[in-house]
Structure 1
Amino acid sequence: MTQFEPVLIVRRLIVLKGAKPVYDERLHPGVNVIRGENASGKSTILNFIYYGLGGDLTDWSTAALLCSRVYLEVELNGMVVTLARDISKTAGSPMDIFSGAYELSLKQPANAWNRYPYRRSLTTESFSQALFRLLGMPDVSLEVSGNITMHQVLRLLYADQLSPVDEIFRFEQFEQKDTRDTIGRLLCGAYTNELYENTQSLKSLKKEFDKIDAQLRSLFVVLGKAEQEVATTDWLSAECEELLKQRRQVEQETDALERKMASNSSDPISMKEQTECYDFVKRKQVEIAKTKQAIHSLVLDIADSDAFVNGLKEKVNNLRDSAVVARNLEEIKFHSCPACFSILDSEEDALTYACHLCKTPYDSEQVAARIAGLVNESAVQIKQSEVLQGRRREKLLKLEEDLESLGKEWKSSAQKLSSMLGRPSTENQQLLRELQRKLGYIDRMIEDFDQKSKMAGVISSLSQRKTELQLRITSLDEENLGLRRAQQDRLNRAYLLISEEVKHLLHNDLRRQDSFENAKGLSFSFEKNRLTVDGESYFSASSRAILKSSFFAGFTAAASEEEFFRHPRFCMIDTLENMGVEEVRSQNFQRLLVNRSAKLKARHQIIYATAMIDPELNNASYTVGRYSTRDEPTIELWK
């Protein structure tokens, strides 16, 4: 059977009460039936699966609250991992993830597991991010409601008993319409990585554009409108050069005057100011050298870390390719020796999984599990490295500012020292020159023009960057317009395929609802959370239950026929017998479900609960565990 991605297959469910397992059953691809009497714990099993996969659940049954921990062994795009969560009434419980099968996890130390919180932080990934990465699904972010989580995706994969039967999504208070719409588009394959990445880039670019625009407005206010027109960098440089000429001329006149005063004075000569100035210049030179060295070292660290991060990202992509190879490696056969071309023995090796050539035992599942672990480990390294890179860049910016400040101090002191060299002076003359420099109008003008020149340079740089950003934003907006048109076409295609699958189930339903027999069109809105058949939404209660069950099964079937869907080809149905659905009608639906599942192109999994299993399906090919009763419920707490 073909494997489309993403695909999620639950292979095993284990529930513990303390250290004791009270439920341990294996599941399989295709249709899985949880069967038993009413109130025997069937819904509790589906809730455990929902919770184990990342659903947020606090409304537990009494029996479930007596349990302590749930384990799920799952396949995510062929990679086997084990998920574990402690059962809690508190929302937002973390998840532990082990790269490999449950049995293997029992032989490993505790540190072989990785714990992920429910919510992400600046330095920590959430378990939704880890699971989406293994499933190859994008990490979608919304303006109002934040990031899409595994919990929110599962609400469109699990038709539970307690949610209103006329709504599509599992019930949740205070949800946003745009969240429902985005989840629907995502699972229909109408939310591409390229559009997502472009949208994220646009957010960042527009944020930078607004910031630069605000900075320019502030600078123009400071400079004044008149100076905006003339205060270019070249003009300010020319004005500053003219002031420097005037300053040199005044210094020459001051120097001549002081020498004349010195020749007629009997005051003692002092070199104190020159010495102090010289020492200050030397200190600044040392500080400048150290700062430059720190900058050069930091630049190299940043470049090296950028290369490391890019290497890790490439590694993650290569690991995903390796997972595909690992799944198919055991099928490679050599008919002749690649060294001497002799015909090889065609007898089957005694080992079930072994290299055809060297007979080394081969375990593709273990390889896939290791790949899953490496993917998540690499992702964590990327996250940590990017945080460190941000800190390095902040430090680099601070060092560059320090270097500029040190350079100004050194330049000012060097000019001062240059004017002092070879000029013996008295204490009174030193005081005279110091007062002259402090009160000098020319120095203040030079400093003012220097600041304005710097500001003009900043304006020029910001204006250029603003233009670049505007061009990039326009380009991405145009590109996104084309992508959205293509997405809408894909969404329309997905809606049509889902509608056809649901109509097939409705047309073959027992004759209980006239509008189902001759249904021409199914309409649904993820945003409005509603289903209609030929524009009609009012049906009998039992028919609403059949319609909702048909939608979840039809959505999974459509995704298993077309690769472009991002639906994980997995669903759980606990609405099959809601609202008084007759036994004969339920069993008819079950047969339709199994027959359609057998013909689907791609691997998938449908799990449903029933108290009225069709006798033809009551065998190990479809059922999970034993038939539960009120006296012997699904959770074996009495043992």
Structure 2
Amino acid sequence: MLLEPTLRVSAMRIHRDRNIVYEANFHSGVNIVRGQNSTGKSTILDFIFYGLGGEDVPWKNEALLCDHVTLEVFLNGIPISLRRQVNDSIRNPMSIFWGPLNEAFKSSVSDWETYPYQRSTSKESFSQVLFRSLGLPELRGEGAANITMHQLLRLMYSDQRTPHDEIFRAEAFESDLNRETIGNYLCGVYSADLYEAQIELKQVESDLTRAVSDLRNIFAVLGKSGQGGATTLEFLQAEAAAVNEEMAVNESHLQELRKSNTVDQKAPAAQRLAKLRKELNDAQQNFSKAQSRLAELELEDKDSELFLREIDRRLVALDDSQKARSYLGSLRFQFCPCCLSATSTPSDGKSCHLCRNDLSEAPGDAQILRMKNELEIQKRESTALMKSRVNAINENRQNLESFKINLKNLEREFFKSGQTWSTPHEIEIETTSRKLGELSQRLKQISEYLKLANVLNELQQKRGSLEHKRSTLQEKIELLLSENEDVKKNAKHAIAEELLYLLKNELPRQDEFISATAVDWSFGKNRVAVNGATQFSESSMVILRHSFHVALLIASAKEKFFRFPRFLMIDGIEDGGQEQQRAFKFQKLIVDRCESLENEYQIIYATSEIEPSLNTDDYTVGKSSTTDDKTLSII
């Protein structure tokens, strides 16, 4: 059976120029890379670690002569191909082909998709793609940095260079919190719902902090300017109505005064009307453009909503298609649907029993995985564009109101000027005209305050909505954390049970292992304890470290809730000055314990002294390397 997530390496090729300097096929279960010391066994495991997305590999000179490494891996049973350039640079990108290796080598360069190590606003990282393909939720560590494939692999690769008393592959400048987060994550403690709720809560709190800060700053400025509470929508709308009413009275009075003036002022009137006409035309154009732009943005926003719904529908359809393939893939026809003749089963088992064409290794599933990846990228980009468009819509609505007020003022002035024109008529005409100017200016000022009041109103509504959302998310997170405590206890029990079994059944050399009744560990402190003790003989420390990783793998292969991808690499299995008999016993114990598992898993370990009964094609991988015939065939 296949539990998700499950990662399995099925083939690897290492290239130099156009030559293949190493090639091997791997199988489910136990894979043993064997050979004499200093012949390149660790280098092979390092290449697998690097090809899967690992970093900080201390390449040997022979390895740096190679150009790139290519892996065929099965992610939840679906084959894809991975390729990375080999050099002494850091954070190299990864190229992905959505299909098996034999098809990848026949394909053109354009069929490979290249992803960087680190995400950007325009491109996903290869860790994001691999996480999605494995069905793993993204995880953020300390400082909001996203956890990468490299971080997960540090718990899936028990290498030779790391001190024997540490759980994680050694890395400089790493915090206890980061290790604790990764360890708990792989043990299934962080659910996808909890992770998404925590991420959403961080975003909501950030938005809420920004909204509160904006409100505080605006009110501080208003307080210094003496505006105080005179910026509410209700107050400003009432004041605008009062100013308009006063302007109407003064305009009526001014018109009466001008009608009483009989001096011919047609020429100045025509000039004034011409100027007003131009200003009015410009104002009408600005208002029309703003209306058109707003309508365009709102139409694009609706179109984006429909597009996102279509993407979600297609993602659901792809999932349904994949399920249908899994249910109907093995359907066989007894009779041909065309000629009704009886069908026969092909002898080689690799051809279609109807059309006789060769069957590839789940290419349909690989294409579904590729299409899901492309749809997720489109969804992320469209969501970002939609958010930017909403901001543009809000800004255009505010500008439209300002254009509207300005247009109405010009229309009123143009209409007034067209109806009556006369020279200033005594002091009363000048006073009335000046008053109208003051009122018009006040109306413009009110329109600006209205824009500010709208902003304040939106911010206050947004603050209330965010506070409610924060409260809801906090309640949800508390509930999920409570549920995750049960998962954490179950994971700890499952690992401890396997670890005690391995320690008690290895060759009896360490008294604490023989009498072990309790084991404990801390991912953060990077230590494993047996009966409260953490320090033993060097050879026993090696056994303890490797036993913990094997226990973690076995527990994950038994319990569905683990996120550990049922994949493990061990190097230096006989390190620490172990006697041969103890190393042989430990190898046999691993194989016997793992072969009782019903679900798919994979262990790849390297040894210079293989237990004799395991030196068969069922377990070994590649050639047995010697000082005269090393793992990398570099001439």
- Other structure's SS at 2:617 match: coil
Report the counterpart of residue 124 of structure 2 in structure 1: 125
Distance in 1 of aligned mates of 2:263 and 2:314 = 82
Report the counterpart of residue 579 of structure 2 in structure 1: 582
The verdict on how the C-alpha distance between 1:433 and 1:423 changes in structure 2, with shifts beyond 3 A counting, is farther
1:603 aligns with 2:600: yes
Deviations 1:216-254 (A, max 9, x none): 222322443996567543333223322222222222222
Distance in 2 of aligned mates of 1:17 and 1:356 = 41
Q: Which amino acid aligns with 2:118?
A: R
Out of 157-166 and 590-599, give the one that drifted further. Answer: 590-599
Deviations 1:487-513 (A, max 9, x none): 111011101101111111111011110
1:98 aligns with 2:97: yes
Report the counterpart of residue 279 of structure 1 in structure 2: 278
Distance in 2 of aligned mates of 1:68 and 1:502 = 40
8 A contact 2:402–2:448 mirrored in 1: no
| Deviation of 1:151 (Å) | 0.5
| Deviation of 1:532 (Å) | 0.6
1:481 to 478, 482, 495: 478
Report the counterpart of residue 175 of structure 1 in structure 2: 174
| Deviation of 1:187 (Å) | 0.6
The verdict on how the C-alpha distance between 1:437 and 1:81 changes in structure 2, with shifts beyond 3 A counting, is farther
Out of 158-167 and 327-336, give the one that drifted further. Answer: 327-336
Q: Which amino acid aligns with 2:233?
A: T
Distance in 1 of aligned mates of 2:488 and 2:48 = 29
**Which structure 2 residues correspond to residues 534-553 of structure 1 after superposition, within 5 A?**
534-553=531-550
Distance in 2 of aligned mates of 1:125 and 1:309 = 19
| Deviation of 1:169 (Å) | 0.5
**Which structure 2 residues correspond to residues 315-334 of structure 1 after superposition, within 5 A?**
315-327=314-326, 329-334=328-333
Report the counterpart of residue 524 of structure 1 in structure 2: 521
Report the counterpart of residue 82 of structure 2 in structure 1: 83
Q: Which amino acid aligns with 2:195?
A: Y
Out of 46-55 and 131-140, give the one that drifted further. Answer: 131-140
Aligned residues between the structures: 632
8 A contact 2:68–2:86 mirrored in 1: yes
**Which structure 2 residues correspond to residues 414-425 of structure 1 after superposition, within 5 A?**
414-425=411-422
Out of 158-167 and 52-61, give the one that drifted further. Answer: 52-61
Distance in 1 of aligned mates of 2:289 and 2:146 = 44
Deviations 1:578-622 (A, max 9, x none): 211221111111111111211112111000001111111101100
Q: Which amino acid aligns with 1:592?
A: L
Q: Which amino acid aligns with 2:114?
A: R
Q: Which amino acid aligns with 1:243?
A: V
1:460 to 457, 463, 466: 457
8 A contact 2:197–2:473 mirrored in 1: yes
8 A contact 1:83–1:98 mirrored in 2: yes
Out of 451-460 and 176-185, give the one that drifted further. Answer: 451-460
The verdict on how the C-alpha distance between 1:168 and 1:322 changes in structure 2, with shifts beyond 3 A counting, is farther
| Deviation of 1:434 (Å) | 11
- Other structure's SS at 2:21 match: strand
**Which structure 2 residues correspond to residues 613-624 of structure 1 after superposition, within 5 A?**
613-624=610-621
Report the counterpart of residue 191 of structure 2 in structure 1: 192
The verdict on how the C-alpha distance between 1:47 and 1:482 changes in structure 2, with shifts beyond 3 A counting, is same
Distance in 2 of aligned mates of 1:630 and 1:186 = 42
Q: Which amino acid aligns with 1:107?
A: K
| Deviation of 1:446 (Å) | 3.3
Report the counterpart of residue 116 of structure 1 in structure 2: 115
Report the counterpart of residue 207 of structure 2 in structure 1: 208
Report the counterpart of residue 403 of structure 1 in structure 2: 400
Deviations 1:79-121 (A, max 9, x none): 1111000111111001011111111112111100001001000
8 A contact 1:330–1:362 mirrored in 2: no
Gaps of 5+ in 1: none
8 A contact 2:80–2:98 mirrored in 1: yes
1:66 aligns with 2:65: yes
1:371 to 352, 368, 371: 368
Deviations 1:522-578 (A, max 9, x none): 111111111111111010011010011111111011000011111100010014112
8 A contact 1:181–1:526 mirrored in 2: yes
- Other structure's SS at 2:529 match: strand
| Deviation of 1:66 (Å) | 1.3
Distance in 2 of aligned mates of 1:606 and 1:514 = 28
The verdict on how the C-alpha distance between 1:100 and 1:422 changes in structure 2, with shifts beyond 3 A counting, is same
Q: Which amino acid aligns with 2:2?
A: Q
Q: Which amino acid aligns with 1:174?
A: F
1:138 aligns with 2:160: no
The verdict on how the C-alpha distance between 1:251 and 1:580 changes in structure 2, with shifts beyond 3 A counting, is same
| Deviation of 1:370 (Å) | 1.9
Distance in 2 of aligned mates of 1:453 and 1:396 = 17
Distance in 1 of aligned mates of 2:515 and 2:423 = 112
- Other structure's SS at 1:558 match: helix
Report the counterpart of residue 515 of structure 1 in structure 2: 512
Report the counterpart of residue 259 of structure 1 in structure 2: 259
- Other structure's SS at 2:558 match: coil
TM-score by length of 2: 0.93
1:235 aligns with 2:235: yes
Out of 241-250 and 351-360, give the one that drifted further. Answer: 351-360
8 A contact 1:270–1:426 mirrored in 2: no
TM-score by length of 1: 0.92
Report the counterpart of residue 492 of structure 1 in structure 2: 489
**RMSD of equivalent CA atoms:** 2.7
| Deviation of 1:276 (Å) | 2.3
The verdict on how the C-alpha distance between 1:327 and 1:85 changes in structure 2, with shifts beyond 3 A counting, is farther
Out of 22-31 and 512-521, give the one that drifted further. Answer: 512-521
Q: Which amino acid aligns with 1:123?
A: S
Report the counterpart of residue 4 of structure 1 in structure 2: 3
Out of 592-601 and 115-124, give the one that drifted further. Answer: 592-601
| Deviation of 1:279 (Å) | 3.1
Out of 409-418 and 63-72, give the one that drifted further. Answer: 409-418
Q: Which contiguous aligned blocks of 4+ residues in structure 1 show a shift greater than 6 angstroms? A: 336-340, 432-435
Deviations 1:28-54 (A, max 9, x none): 010000000111110000000000000
Distance in 2 of aligned mates of 1:407 and 1:433 = 28
Gaps of 5+ in 2: none
Report the counterpart of residue 42 of structure 2 in structure 1: 43
Distance in 2 of aligned mates of 1:634 and 1:333 = 45
Distance in 2 of aligned mates of 1:543 and 1:163 = 15
Distance in 1 of aligned mates of 2:579 and 2:323 = 45
1:245 aligns with 2:245: yes
Deviations 1:115-149 (A, max 9, x none): 10010001100000011010000111235150000
8 A contact 2:333–2:343 mirrored in 1: no
The verdict on how the C-alpha distance between 1:433 and 1:418 changes in structure 2, with shifts beyond 3 A counting, is farther
- Other structure's SS at 2:236 match: helix
Matched-pair identity in %: 36
Out of 172-181 and 401-410, give the one that drifted further. Answer: 401-410
Distance in 2 of aligned mates of 1:234 and 1:630 = 89
The verdict on how the C-alpha distance between 1:416 and 1:635 changes in structure 2, with shifts beyond 3 A counting, is same
